[in-house]
Amino acid sequence: MILETIYLKDGGHFSEYVSEWAASKGIETVSYEFKPSEDQEPHGLLLVNENQDIRRDIGEIYALFDRKHIPTQKIDINGTLQVAINSFRMWLDKNKCKRVLVLGDDELVKNENLDRFFTNVK
């Protein structure tokens, strides 16, 4: 995987989960407070969701990245696991994303598919 840095919103169970996963893979995590003028913008945005259910605040960030033509990817963890993994890998490779903002709802940590997804992403 070409990921070097994962940006996460401060606090929350989802951010803690992704941070622990990233540490196990040797990927740096950085706290990210959304500021459009920031110099170190992520190369892309990964939006992890459950059954395409997206909170409004996360959806607004997704829409802003899309408008700025920053690569975005949505992963539904209740979809087909192998399709989600392959899609994510291809997206990273195609867009050469090395710094990615990862967003998701804190309730996702209760879904066993989140663990299945991150465990199988290499």
CATH of the domain at 18: 3.40.50.450
C-alpha span between 90 and 46 (Å, rounded): 13
- Whether residue 30 contacts residue 7, with contact meaning beta carbons closer than 8 Å, is answered with yes
Q: What pTM value is reported for the model?
A: 0.90
- Give yes or no for a contact between 5 and 101, defined as CB atoms under 8 angstroms apart: no
Cα four-point dihedral sign 7, 11, 13, 17? positive
- From first to last of its 122 residues, what are the pLDDT tens digits of the chain? 688 999 999 889 999 999 999 999 999 999 987 665 555 679 999 999 998 888 888 889 889 898 989 999 999 999 899 999 999 999 999 999 999 999 999 999 999 999 999 998 87
Please list, in sequence order, all residues whose beta carbon lies within 8 angstroms of the beta carbon of residue 42, skipping any fewer than 6 positions away.
Answer: 5, 7, 32, 70, 97, 99, 100, 101
CB atoms within 10 A of CB 9: 20
Look up the domain containing 91 and give its range.
5-120
Give CA torsion, residues 120, 88, 10, 110, to 10 deg.
-50
* Closest alpha carbon to 85 in 114, 63, 51: 114
Q: How many domains does the chain have?
A: 1
Q: pLDDT value at position 53?
A: 80
